[in-house]
Amino acid sequence: MRGLNLLLSACGAIAALLAWRALLPLMPVDPEAASMAVRLGRACAALLPSGFVLAAMIAVQMAGRMWSGAIDPLGGQDTVFLRVNQRVITNTVEQMAVFVPALLALAAAVPAGQMPAVAAACGVFALARLAFWAGYLLGPLGRAPGMAASFAVVAATLMAAAWKWLH
């Protein structure tokens, strides 16, 4: 089981890199992004897909509570779906707590020509969170690719931001 988890995680991390490489040419270079303020604004806009994913998770959780009748989250009536979905939401917020400031720091530090890489990272992060969500709903092992893909994007963004600011 541990070996399969490691294999699925490696596949998720590799998929994140391949998705980033595939999205990169689709992101336009903005000559106005020479200004740090514009780069930060563009980075905030690039984070919107992740915000929509989180909002969808919350909406599904709300609907699940209404549908199951488990209105009180402390009442002990949560279904497996509600417990899993809540863990997905919590983990997504935790990942975003590291990703968002790292991404903004990176956007502030890179030249305009590198902003497509920043935007592509946001797209991959949102896709990875969707993969994590879908996989976790299938079963505990199913979350490994999305979790590894998410963490790969977060770790790469954090390291790139640190590198840019230290050099």
DSSP conformation letters of 83-128:
HHHHHHHHHHHHHHHHHHHHHHHHHHHS-GGGHHHHHHHHHHHHHH
pLDDT (0 to 100) of residue 54: 98
Cβ pair 17, 127 in contact under 8 A:
no
**CATH 3.40.50.300 given to domain 2-25+35-166:** no
What pLDDT, on the 0 to 100 scale, is given for residue 31? Answer: 84
Q: What is the pLDDT of residues 80-129, one digit of tens each?
A: 999 999 999 999 999 999 999 999 999 999 999 999 999 999 999 999 99
Cα separation, 108 vs 61, whole angstroms: 35
Q: Which residue ranges in the chain fall short of pLDDT 70?
A: none
d(CA 161, CA 44): 15
For residue 58, the model assigns a pLDDT of 98
